[in-house]
Amino acid sequence: MSNLKTNKKIGFSVAALLKDAGITARHCEIIPLQGGNNRVYRLIADNDQYILKRYYVSHDDHRSRLSAEYIFLEFVREISVRNVPKPVFCDPARHLALYQYIEGKKPGKNEIGKMHVINALNFIEAINIRNDTDTRSALRIGMASDYCPHIREYVNSVNERVKRLSLISFDAQINKRAKEFIFNTVIPEWEKIKAKIRNSKRKYPDLLEADLILSPSDFGFHNSIVNPAGDIFFIDFEYAGWDDPLKMVCDFFCQPERPVPLKYLEYFIERTERMVCPAYDFRGKIMLLLPLFRIKWCCIVLNDFLNIDFKRRQYAFFNEDRREKQLAKALDYFARHFTRLF
């Protein structure tokens, strides 16, 4: 194998991975791409192309991102849902996985329309046909990342995110500005949201196990590719698993990278609530917790200020320091959303 255009360490790992996967190639080229948490490469092996992911591993992670993604994709492809990448091969010992390469690009920030939303709903419904989710391969799938069975756990989870951000150090001017934003803006708003949840007169029943759905968890058009034919493929399933459908809906409408217009929320709820018990009061609970998810995503945008997440992002973005960019993004996100929600 020749023409491995990368450093020796990655080149050796890739050569071994291709050999183990039964892929022979005389010429191989590796092109670094930006990934959210992992190192991602476009791998050209003769006339074939793949996505190579090298997963970031930390002792603070309580679940294997590689296993979560690979097992989820194996199940989705097994039930003949084809608008996801085909899993090709994985090497858990070296934290490497190969997936089908999807030619195309992400939809633009202002391009999300009704057909995009319908495609997303069709995908969620297709992977949650009960005859399929009762199979042995579906039962291999674990719980989604950040799964919360009770309202109090949603509150506790966001509380913890806010607390971690409040403890960032003052070792740089950008950190000082971020901390001022957290204390002067985020925390006061979060206290109002918690009070509203606490004072809600409606008592919502806990989620039943039968109401769990299979979810990508980090679901949205930031994790999608539109191919040249106009077909939408969904990618990046390292957080996937069994989850509360409420969380899937709220994350879908709160993620900041490819905003979904709120005018589609009612339609999205109407189709999704068919999957849950009527007693769950799906719509009411979503409207109560949507502001909580806004705070959650504001915190996620600021994760680069946390030591472990800073290291992870530097790993994924090849040592780029994104703190200035992420603080500007968080300020814009907060300004756009909280004037509308209250």
Q: How much is the pLDDT for 62?
A: 79
| Gap between the Cα atoms of 310 and 182, Å rounded | 17
DSSP track, 88-136: EEEEGGGTEEEEEPPPSBPPPTT---HHHHHHHHHHHHHTT-HHHHTSH
| Gap between the Cα atoms of 219 and 204, Å rounded | 24
Question: Which helix H or strand E contains 265, and what residues bound it?
Answer: helix 265-272
Residue ranges in the chain modelled with pLDDT below 70: 1-12, 279, 308-319, 339-342
Same domain for 92 and 140, yes or no, is: no
Same domain for 15 and 155, yes or no, is: no
Q: How much is the pLDDT for 8?
A: 54
Asked if residue 244 lies in contact with residue 209, where contact means CB atoms within 8 angstroms, the answer is no
Provide the Cα torsion 301, 304, 307, 312; round to 10°.
100
Same domain for 262 and 200, yes or no, is: yes
Residue 131 belongs to a domain with what CATH number? 3.90.1200
Q: Which domain holds residue 252?
A: 114-341
Q: How much is the pLDDT for 161?
A: 97
The residue out of 40, 68, 100 marking a domain boundary is: 100
Same domain for 207 and 257, yes or no, is: yes
Number of domains in the chain: 2
Q: How much is the pLDDT for 339?
A: 65
pLDDT in tens, 209-218: 888 999 999 9
Same domain for 93 and 154, yes or no, is: no
The beta strands (E) that lie in the chain are given as 28-33, 39-45, 48-54, 87-91, 96-100, 213-215, 224-226, 232-234, 241-243
Same domain for 47 and 125, yes or no, is: no
Same domain for 94 and 139, yes or no, is: no
For residue 133, being part of any structural domain is answered with yes
Q: How much is the pLDDT for 240?
A: 97
Q: pTM value?
A: 0.90
The residues near 195 (Cβ < 8 Å, ≥ 6 apart) are none
Q: How much is the pLDDT for 148?
A: 94
| Gap between the Cα atoms of 92 and 27, Å rounded | 25
The residue out of 100, 127, 158 marking a domain boundary is: 100
Same domain for 22 and 146, yes or no, is: no
Distances 275 to 12, 200, 224, 254, 259 between C-alpha atoms, Å: 47, 25, 23, 21, 24
Radius of gyration of the chain (CA): 21
Same domain for 127 and 55, yes or no, is: no
For residue 121, being part of any structural domain is answered with yes
Same domain for 127 and 95, yes or no, is: no
Task: State what percent of residues in the chain have pLDDT above 70.
Answer: 91
The residue out of 72, 100, 128 marking a domain boundary is: 100
Give the residue from 156, 144, 158 showing the smallest Cα distance to 293: 158
For residue 28, being part of any structural domain is answered with yes
